[in-house]
């Protein structure tokens, strides 16, 4: 079904007009927009609202996962005696990211995720130099490293 369509003759000037009318009808029906493609403002708002809800849920899941990972990594490092400056920094960044999503809004989620990836790659390189530069493992661990 089409929004615009022309059927029959558009002009009747004897025998030759019917062919032009059919061609014009076919042309318009080819370039016409099917009904349902264009949505009203209300329908569009509903679609966008659903999309925004999905993004908000995604951001919440990302933030909670970040927080759980932060607390778990802190707990693990202290339990195995491997806690150091990098542990505290990792925890601070993860919790900070989770809080930023809540405070700023879902718009912060992509930035937090992007920063997390960059920080994760950076920490692979800078973790050991950081721990060597600010070594506090002796003062915050009471047990010897188990692994």
Partner 1 sequence: MVFYCLVRNDQTNTVHARTIYLIEIFLIQVFFAFSEIIIGLLNLRFSSFIYYIAIGIICSILAYLLVNKKYNKGRGQEVVQKYSELISRRKVLLVLLGISLFIVAFIFLILNGMLMSYLFSLHE
Q: At what angle do helices 85-104 and 109-133 cross, to 10 degrees?
A: 160
Maximum C-alpha span of the chain: 104
Position 128 contacts partner 1 (CB under 8 A): no
DSSP-derived secondary structure for 11-29: --SSSSHHHHHHHHHHHHH
Pattern 37-66, partner 1, x by CB under 8 A: ---------------x---x---x--xx--
Compute how many other C-beta atoms are within 10 angstroms of the C-beta atom of residue 62.
19
**Residue 119 to residue 97: CA distance in whole angstroms:** 11
Name the β-bridge partners of 95. none
Report the residue number, 6 or 69, with the smaller CB distance to partner 1: 69
Position 75 contacts partner 1 (CB under 8 A): yes
Position 80 contacts partner 1 (CB under 8 A): yes
Candidate list 93, 98, 109, 112; residue touching partner 1; CB under 8 A: 98
Position 83 contacts partner 1 (CB under 8 A): yes
Candidate list 11, 102, 110, 129; residue touching partner 1; CB under 8 A: 102
Position 143 contacts partner 1 (CB under 8 A): yes
Q: Which residues neighbour 17 within 8 Å (Cβ) at sequence distance 6 or greater?
A: 9, 10, 11
Interface residues with partner 1 (CB under 8 A)?
52, 56, 60, 63-64, 67-69, 71-81, 83, 88, 91-92, 95, 98-99, 101-107, 140-143, 146-147
């Amino acid at each position: 079904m089409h929004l615009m369509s022309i059927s029959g003759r558009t002009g009747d000037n004897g025998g030759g007009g019917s062919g032009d009318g059919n061609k014009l009808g076919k042309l318009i029906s080819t370039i016409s927009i099917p009904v349902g493609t264009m949505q009203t403002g209300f329908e569009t708002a509903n679609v966008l609202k659903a999309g925004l809800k999905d993004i908000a849920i995604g951001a919440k899941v990302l933030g909670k996962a970040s927080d759980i990972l932060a607390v778990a990594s802190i707990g693990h490092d202290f339990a195995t005696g491997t806690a150091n400056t990098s542990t505290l920094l990792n925890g601070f960044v993860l919790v900070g990211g989770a809080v930023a999503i809540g405070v700023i809004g879902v718009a912060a989620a992509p930035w937090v995720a992007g920063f997390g990836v960059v920080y994760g790659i950076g920490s692979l390189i800078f973790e050991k130099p950081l721990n060597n530069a600010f070594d506090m493992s002796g003062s915050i661990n009471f047990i010897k490293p188990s692994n």
